[in-house]
């Protein structure tokens, strides 16, 4: 196979990981990969390996179709433009239109679980992008990535220190997935393993509630941790006090409310179907983090 594979957002954590899996696990030749980023200098290491690095800015729409020309498969990683309403969706729509104009063979998009019925403020960005992609006439596949395990790691330290994991998720359950598994699934999908016209739910292997997540953390690190379930206002106040930006804290709380409402409560076998490997469990992620910390010490 000699298809050209394009990864947007290639200097981000997910984009870099996707390219790493393309090279190491999927055996894709570097010359077949195009890495799009706003800051090409950050990908000098990939360029040195033979990956083609191109400047890509979704708000410079006139350059998008040129960048996508000759591309067989495009991984459209959702952008991080959450600073003002509508900005991210406009970027995505411009990319979809540019892919259509360039005649891209197959577009894969990283979305979120259940965007049509969600309390998360940015869900309409994902739903709008999915809808545009489905109406574009392009071959498409959608990868709905569950909430990252890494998002939990941001609060692991305070939880271990105080023995309390605060949350607004109540009794809700969800299947957190590692970023590595999302990247592995995306790389596999990009090499042709994804069925056109299909939506994949990229989840972890088990549905967990916050009591179970707190217990897993405590078990891995040898400390008692319990989940403390708060109302929306109290939880938001704690995040703001911890220094989160005012536009980010409500988004995180809304995601927890979405869990509480049961709107993230899905688990699938799609990671294993795409990659041939089961996704890593959260307990294993905690244990690996503990082991890495001991090694560093």
Instruction: Look up the CATH number of the domain holding residue 221.
Output: 3.90.25.10
Q: How far apart are CA 123 and CA 280, in angstroms?
A: 26
Q: Which two tokens stand for residue 101?
A: 């104009």
Do 72 and 166 fall within a single domain?
no
What is the rounded distance in angstroms from the CA atom of residue 193 to the CA atom of residue 73? 12
Number of domains in the chain: 2
Distances in whole angstroms, Cα of residue 19 to Cα of each of 115, 178, 203, 240? 26, 16, 20, 35
Looking at the predicted structure, is the pLDDT value of residue 167 above 90? yes
Mean pLDDT value of segment 56-68: 90
Mean pLDDT of the region 195-200: 98
The CA angle 233-234-239, to the nearest 5 degrees, is 100
What is the arithmetic mean of pLDDT over 127-150?
97
- Rounding to the nearest 10 degrees, give the CA dihedral for residues 148, 151, 156, 162: -130
pLDDT in the model for residue 62: 83
Spatial CA neighbour of 142 closest among 198, 226, 78? 198
Length of the chain: 297
Same domain, residue pair 239 and 228: yes
- The string of pLDDT tens digits covering residues 2-15 is 799 999 999 999 99
Q: What is the CA radius of gyration of the chain?
A: 19
The answer on 188 and 94 residing in a single domain is yes
Q: Print the SS3 string covering 33-67.
A: EEEEECCHHHHHHHHHCCCEEEECCCCCHHHHHHH
Q: What is the pLDDT of residue 296?
A: 47
Q: Give the N- to C-terminal CA distance of the chain in Å, as an integer.
A: 45
Q: What is the mean pLDDT of residues 233-253?
A: 91
Q: Are residues 50 and 169 in the same domain?
A: no
pLDDT over 60 at 23, yes or no: yes
* Rounded-to-integer distance, Cα 44 and Cα 21, Å: 18
**Shared domain check, 81 and 55:** yes
**Average of per-residue pLDDT across 105-123:** 97
Q: Are residues 9 and 111 in the same domain?
A: yes
Whether 58 shows a pLDDT value over 50: the answer reads yes
- Which residues are 200's β-sheet partners? 143
Residue 297 banded pLDDT, cuts 50, 70, 90: very low
| Cross-strand pairs, 166 | 228
Strand partners, 108: 75, 141
The answer on 249 and 151 residing in a single domain is: yes
Give the closest residue to 18 by CA, choosing from 82, 59, 74.
74
Range of the domain at 40: 5-145+179-203+267-280
Q: What is the DSSP string of 208-226?
A: EEHHHHHHHHHHHHTS--E
Verify that 30 and 44 share a domain, yes or no. yes
Which is nearest to 119 in space by CA: 248, 266, 230, 258? 258
The verdict on 252 and 296 lying in the same domain is yes
Query: What average pLDDT is seen over the chain?
Result: 95
Residue 1, pLDDT above cutoff 60 = no
* Domain at 275, CATH number: 3.40.50.720
167 and 186 inside one domain = no
β-bridge mates for residue 74, sequence order: 6, 107
Q: In what helix (H) or strand (E) does residue 237 lie, and over which residues does it extend?
A: helix 232-241
Specify whether 101 is located in the same domain as 199.
yes
Q: Which residue has the tokens 């019925």?
A: 117
In DSSP terms, 142 is beta-bridged to 109, 199
131, two tokens? 């809808």
40 with 133, same domain: the answer is: yes
Model pLDDT, residue 85 = 80
């Amino acid at each position: 196979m000699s298809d050209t594979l394009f990864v947007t957002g290639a200097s981000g954590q997910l984009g870099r990981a996707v390219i790493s899996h393309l090279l190491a696990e999927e055996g894709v030749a570097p010359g077949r990969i195009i890495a799009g980023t706003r800051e090409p200098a950050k990908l000098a290491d990939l360029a040195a390996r033979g990956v083609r690095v191109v400047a890509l800015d979704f708000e410079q729409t006139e350059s998008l179709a040129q960048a996508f020309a000759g591309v067989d498969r495009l991984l459209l990683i959702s952008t991080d433009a959450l600073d003002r309403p509508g900005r991210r969706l406009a970027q995505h729509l411009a990319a979809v239109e540019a892919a259509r104009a360039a005649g891209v063979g197959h577009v894969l998009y990283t979305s979120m679980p259940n965007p049509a019925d969600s309390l998360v403020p940015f869900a309409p960005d994902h739903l709008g992008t999915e809808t545009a992609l489905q109406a574009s006439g392009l071959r498409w596949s959608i990868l709905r990535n569950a909430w990252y395990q890494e998002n939990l790691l941001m609060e692991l330290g305070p939880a271990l220190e105080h023995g309390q994991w605060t949350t607004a998720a109540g009794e809700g359950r969800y299947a957190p997935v590692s970023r590595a598994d999302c990247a592995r699934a995306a790389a596999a999908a990009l090499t042709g393993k994804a069925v056109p016209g299909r939506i994949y739910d990229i989840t972890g292997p088990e549905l967990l509630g916050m009591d179970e997540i707190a217990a897993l953390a405590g078990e891995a690190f040898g400390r008692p941790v319990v989940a403390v379930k708060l109302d929306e206002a109290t939880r938001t106040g704690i995040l703001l006090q911890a220094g989160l930006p005012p536009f980010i804290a409500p988004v995180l709380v809304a995601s927890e409310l979405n869990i509480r409402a049961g709107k993230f409560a899905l688990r699938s076998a799609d990671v294993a179907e795409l990659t041939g490997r089961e996704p890593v469990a959260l307990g294993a992620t905690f244990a690996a983090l503990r082991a890495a910390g001991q090694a560093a010490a």
